[in-house]
Structure 1
Amino acid sequence: MSWTKFLDDTMKRMGALQKQAPDMFAGFNTMGKAAKKNGTLDENTKELIALGIAISTRCDSCIGFHVKSLVRLGTTRAELCEALEMIGYMGGGPSIAFGAKALEAYDEFTSS
């Protein structure tokens, strides 16, 4: 699977929904900006938390978006893998399987 193509396709689908529900997207974007701003926790830590939730809810799109953000923020492969260990510990087999997807996405996004 190409994570880049998958996220591009996801963005197209979301764009179609955004045309029908612009207020929902505006609200979601405002909430995201507020949640991601640096405070006691930095954005990288918050994105690792978001990735844990994405993996536990088995949302491929969310995994892709949050891994892409982690790459943008300079998260190392070692940091990601350490987070994936905790996520796998807390979520068991399904989280390990979806954590492997997150690592695959990280490897694709950092190779380009």
Structure 2
Amino acid sequence: MPKSYKQITEDLNPYLAEVKKGMPEVMKGFSEMAKAATADGALDKKTKEPIALSIGIATRCDGCIGFHAKALVHLGATRNEIEEVCGMAIYMGGGPSFMYAADALRAFDEFSD
């Protein structure tokens, strides 16, 4: 049965909430870092999210792929843009990134439906 990135992100959400509840100070710091890192500056969010997706691919993180693919759909990314992100991730991460790049395309398509 293939992975469902909608299901992966839905399944993670309650546990992410538990982590936030159990470590509020750590998560407060992480949240502030995320806000600062994703804020528009020399690069906008639509430029930064593909970077995050490519790191998720290279590190083989299903949750990262799901959440960043979903964000890219909401930011109006095209499938062609995602394919190029996958190409860069494969170039930098080799064979394992190739497998997860296929999953990133699946996640993007799933959230696009």
TM-score (norm 2): 0.93
Q: Which residue of 1 aligns with 2:111?
A: 109
1:96 paired with 2:98, answer: yes
Q: Which residue of 1 is the match for residue 25 of structure 2?
A: 23
Deviations 1:53-84, CA, capped at 9 Å, x for gaps: 11111111011111111111100000110111
What CA RMSD, in Å, does the superposition of the two structures yield over aligned residues? 0.9
Pairing of 1:46-61 with structure 2 (within 5 A): 46-61=48-63
Q: Is the 8 A contact 2:8 2:62 kept in 1?
A: no
Q: How far apart are residue 87 of structure 1 and its match? A: 1.1
Q: Which residue of 2 aligns with 1:71?
A: 73
TM-score by length of 1: 0.94
d(CA) in 2 for partners of 1:79, 1:31: 26
Counterpart Cα distance in 1 of 2:7 and 2:96? 24
Q: Which amino acid aligns with 2:5?
A: W
Distance 2:42 2:21 in 1: 35
Runs of 4+ in 1 over 4 A off after TM superposition: none
Shift of 1:48: 0.8
Shift of 1:33: 0.7
How many residues are matched? 111
Partner of 1:8: 10
SS of residue matched to 2:9: helix
